Amino acid sequence: MSILKVENLKAYYIATLYGIKRSVRAVDNVSLDIEENEIFGIAGESGCGKSTLLKVIVGLIKPPLSLIGGMVLYNSGKDYISPFLLSLEEFNKIRWSFISYIPQGSMNVLNPTRKINRTFWDVIKTHGSEEEKKNLKTITEEHIKALGLPLEVLNSYPHQLSGGMRQRVTMALATILKPKIIVADEPTTALDVVVQRGVLQLLERIQEIYQNTLIIVTHDMAVHANIAHRIAIMYAGKIVEVGKTRDIFKNPKHPYTKYLINSLPKIGDKSIRESAPGAPPSLLNPPSGCRFHPRCPKVMDICKLEVPKLAEIDSGHSVACFLFTKEVEEV
Amino acid sequence: MKNNNKLLVVSDLTKVFIIGGRFLGVKLVAVNRESFDMEEEKPEIFTIAGESGCGKTTLARMILGIIEPTSGKIFYKGKDITKIQSKEDRLDFMREVQPIFQNPFETFNPLKRVESYLIETAINFGAVKNRSEAFDRIEEVLQLVGLSIKEVEKRYPHELSGGQLQRVSIARALITNPSLLVADEPVSMVDASIKMSVVNLFKDLKEKYGVSVIYITHDLATAYYISDRIAIMYRGNIVELGPVEKVMLNPLHPYTKLLIEAVPEPDPDLKWKEEIKLSAMEAKEFAKLGCKFSERCLEAKERCHEITPEKIFVDDRWVMCHKYK
Ligand SMILES: Nc1ncnc2c1ncn2[C@@H]1O[C@H](COP(=O)(O)OP(=O)(O)OP(=O)(O)O)[C@@H](O)[C@H]1O
Ligand SMILES: Nc1ncnc2c1ncn2[C@@H]1O[C@H](COP(=O)(O)OP(=O)(O)OP(=O)(O)O)[C@@H](O)[C@H]1O
Ligand code: SF4
Ligand code: SF4
Ligand SMILES: [Mg+2]
Ligand SMILES: [Mg+2]
């Protein structure tokens, strides 16, 4: 059963410079179906729109970002609700308890003047149920214990914890009200690999205990290989391939995905690695047709004219590329 | 000490931070009496890797002269950089040793066009005499990083991608013909493809133009790919230092072993298996007696908790561990 549906989503950054209106097409016609109880990875080039997509999914749309079209739907179990159609008050109710968002660089968001347990209590007080509010102390302690973190962190100030521990505390905080969906943006970027592994283990553990859905964005393919069940590859504001983790790594279809997988260096191997040729596209003025066409070694005439539609080519494996599909996206 | 023929000598360098107030605060020794050097004649890529918060950035900032060491010395081409007094000498030093930071967007002024910022840099450093010379110089350095003025002309930083901007920031660093680049996590924010273009660029700069690079990173696969030597830091100390093949393919220090084993493989068939143990209270570890890794080390003996290990030269590299005594 899908817990989150994204349909033809378009979100652009709109800026006016010298009186000329310009839009950065960061999310351009994206559709996704995310299942209950899965770890869904989103990968792609720097600046391709990953963080923007997450922001829109959790309903955080502030200027200059604006919603141009499409829909995001959450399956609450009873019916579908959309963050775009909720009042601020209703939205605040589901934030943390239904969907929880861990932004990029979040380990610095913990309040430096408050002990960690206070921060947990604040969240429970603002977003929890009456029942949860009554038991805020026990809930916090049990949660920390269940996640295998030392209880003494609760009595610490953020600066007393290492970056890796702060990051794990942020994850614990995001899941204190057992949300159905957790959305994490680059949760391990800029951490050493040992700490990174600890943080990811924690995320897996949370997912196992609460059977919720985890959406994780990172450009680090090794992280996806280790924890994602399914992966979406994004290029220039669009999803170009979606599939099971194994299929993406062992049988990538889209020429861009192939570059992404093959450019990865390995310890013990000093052979020259080439990066994808050409420059990443501008989202202000993206290339016509398939956005990868100026860099694609397999480019055909149709690629410059039409936009390939994301289409299923194998069970659970979809690609947007004319090598595999004739379907054209309507613009 | 013989400093001849050395590009850089870091000697007994220490940085102490006081955290949590000047009187009640605790001392945090972010870099603990560390030493290493780099040859002038033999350009190299020297990687510093290690635990988050182990002191890599602090070390880099001391080498760049951005922060002052608490004690110890740094010699650049035989000159003690902590003693630089005159503005001229400082400018000279800055021309020779250039930084590259993690976030290229912070290197640039968001309100200035990229090319005018580059031109100003060229003029301010006295690398050129006038604007037209500046233009030529900038075209030259942009070519080196695989770009051209045409591609960046009239653009503001946010109008370039992270990878392009990181290349431009390397171009900026090259304007003055430096002998040493100090790059602090230059690729941690970018995807694999840009990452490879940046590290390939470092390799080229070393091989073709004799530029040495101090490469600070968490990305051990790229470190292996480009470096000559690597230093692994843990809680303020370099615990292992040697040729990259030796250290990474056959690590000796228990922390290096743990670090190398934790490198995730980009292959779903080679997923991690066992759980990993992390330290909870970092600040306490910094203040610990004996080996700072002893709480987590599976091979720790009694003396490890009491006596700080010395550095020992084994199998071509320095190791700071009692095991090898
Ligand atoms: N406030 C803004 N105004 C204008 N453009 C923006 C703004 N924020 C982001 N962008 C642009 O939107 C595009 C998508 O940005 P986004 O942050 O979603 O990328 P990303 O895939 O998360 O990249 P990264 O891997 O670097 O985190 C980029 O080209 C970026 O320059
Ligand atoms: N200005 C400062 N005041 C107090 N403590 C500091 C200061 N700068 C750094 N520290 C502390 O010194 C230690 C080393 O920090 P540093 O930034 O050098 O680590 P790092 O190895 O670069 O870490 P990372 O891998 O996370 O970038 C950390 O515990 C940090 O909290
Ligand atoms: S649609 Fe054409 S240009 Fe685009 S990836 Fe496929 S072959 Fe290449
Ligand atoms: S000195 Fe002892 S505790 Fe430290 S790394 Fe070596 S064996 Fe382990
Ligand atoms: Mg992002
Ligand atoms: Mg650092």
Report whether pLDDT(B2) > 60: no
Report whether pLDDT(A259) > 90: no
Report whether pLDDT(B249) > 70: yes
Nearest C-alpha neighbor of B302 from the set B293, B311, B294, B313? B294
Which residue in this structure is represented by tokens 């910094």? B286
Best mutation target among B52, B169, B239, B265 (most A Cβ atoms within 10 Å) is B52
Nearest-angstrom CA–CA distance, B213 and B227: 9
Q: What is the mean pLDDT of residues B214-239?
A: 96
Report whether pLDDT(A39) > 90: yes
Q: Select from A44, A45, A197 the Cβ nearest to the Cβ of B276.
A: A197
Q: Select from B222, B272, B282 the Cβ nearest to the Cβ of A161.
A: B282
Range in A258-262, B232-236, B244-248 with the lowest mean pLDDT = A258-262
User: If you average pLDDT over every residue of chain B, what do you get?
Assistant: 89
CB contact under 8 A, B221 and A265: yes
CA A69 distance to own-chain centroid: 20
Is residue B291 in contact with ligand 4, taking CB distance under 6 Å? Answer: yes
Report whether pLDDT(B84) > 60: yes
Q: What is the mean pLDDT of residues B266-270?
A: 88
Rg (CA), chain B: 21
- In this prediction, residue A273 has a pLDDT band, given cuts at 50, 70 and 90, of confident
Nearest-angstrom CA–CA distance, A74 and A91: 12
Do A4 and A82 form a contact (C-beta atoms < 8 A)? no
Question: B249: which chain A residues are within 8 Å (Cβ-Cβ)?
Answer: 267-268
Q: What is the mean pLDDT of residues B124-128?
A: 87
Query: What are the structure tokens assigned to A36, written together?
Result: 């209950």
CA dihedral A158, A198, B226, A294 (to 10 degrees): -90
The closest-lying atom of ligand 4 relative to the alpha carbon of residue B301 is 2
Higher pLDDT, B112 or A226: A226
Whether B103 and chain A come into contact, CB under 8 Å, resolves to no
Which pLDDT value is given to residue B280? Answer: 60
Whether B43 and chain A come into contact, CB under 8 Å, resolves to no
Whether B221 and chain A come into contact, CB under 8 Å, resolves to yes
How many Å lie between the centroid of ligand 2 and the Cα of residue B236?
A: 10
Q: List the 137-176 stretch of B: residues with Cβ below 8 A of A.
A: 151, 159, 161-164
Is residue A66 in contact with ligand 1, taking CB distance under 6 Å? Answer: no
Using CA coordinates, name the residue in chain A closest to B195: A275
Helical (H) or strand (E) element with B31: strand B26-39
How many C-beta atoms surround the C-beta of residue A198 within 10 A? 23
Using CA coordinates, name the residue in chain A closest to B283: A160
Distances (CA, A) of A52 to A46, A284, B109, B269, B273: 12, 15, 23, 31, 33
Report whether pLDDT(B18) > 90: no
Which pLDDT value is given to residue A125? Answer: 93
Report whether pLDDT(A92) > 80: yes
Whether A251 and chain B come into contact, CB under 8 Å, resolves to no
Q: What is the mean pLDDT of residues A51-65?
A: 92
CA atoms within 13 A on the CB side of A245: 21
Distance to chain A for B280, nearest Cα, Å: 7
Which pLDDT value is given to residue A110? Answer: 83
Which pLDDT value is given to residue B23? Answer: 63
Which pLDDT value is given to residue B283? Answer: 57
Report whether pLDDT(A27) > 70: yes
Condensed to tens digits (0 to 9), the pLDDT of residues A170-218 reads 989 999 999 999 999 988 887 889 888 988 988 898 899 889 999 999 9
Question: A247: which chain B residues are within 8 Å (Cβ-Cβ)?
Answer: none
Report whether pLDDT(A21) > 90: no
Is residue B323 in contact with ligand 4, taking CB distance under 6 Å? Answer: yes
| Most confident by average pLDDT, A320-329, B22-31, B189-198 | A320-329
Condensed to tens digits (0 to 9), the pLDDT of residues B152-193 reads 888 888 777 777 788 899 999 999 999 999 999 998 877 777
Which residues pair with residue B13 across a beta bridge?
Answer: B34
Is residue B55 in contact with ligand 2, taking CB distance under 6 Å? Answer: yes
Q: What is the mean pLDDT of residues A110-135?
A: 91
Whether B47 and chain A come into contact, CB under 8 Å, resolves to no
Residue A190 neighbours by CB under 8 Å, 6+ apart: B52, B102, B185, B188, B189, B218
How many Å lie between the centroid of ligand 4 and the Cα of residue B31?
A: 19
Range in A8-22, A74-88, B130-144, B279-293 with the lowest mean pLDDT = B279-293
Report whether pLDDT(B3) > 60: no
Nearest-angstrom CA–CA distance, B98 and B90: 12
Q: What is the mean pLDDT of residues A153-166?
A: 83
User: If you average pLDDT over every residue of chain A, what do you get?
Assistant: 90
Report whether pLDDT(A8) > 90: yes
Nearest C-alpha neighbor of B197 from the set B223, B166, B175, B219? B166
Do B46 and B212 form a contact (C-beta atoms < 8 A)? yes
Whether B66 and chain A come into contact, CB under 8 Å, resolves to no
Report whether pLDDT(A319) > 60: yes
Q: Select from B196, B259, B270 the Cβ nearest to the Cβ of A263.
A: B196
Nearest-angstrom CA–CA distance, B263 and A283: 33
Do A110 and A158 form a contact (C-beta atoms < 8 A)? yes
CB contact under 8 A, B193 and A259: yes
Nearest-angstrom CA–CA distance, B180 and B75: 13
Q: List the 13-32 stretch of B: residues with Cβ below 8 A of A.
A: 19-20
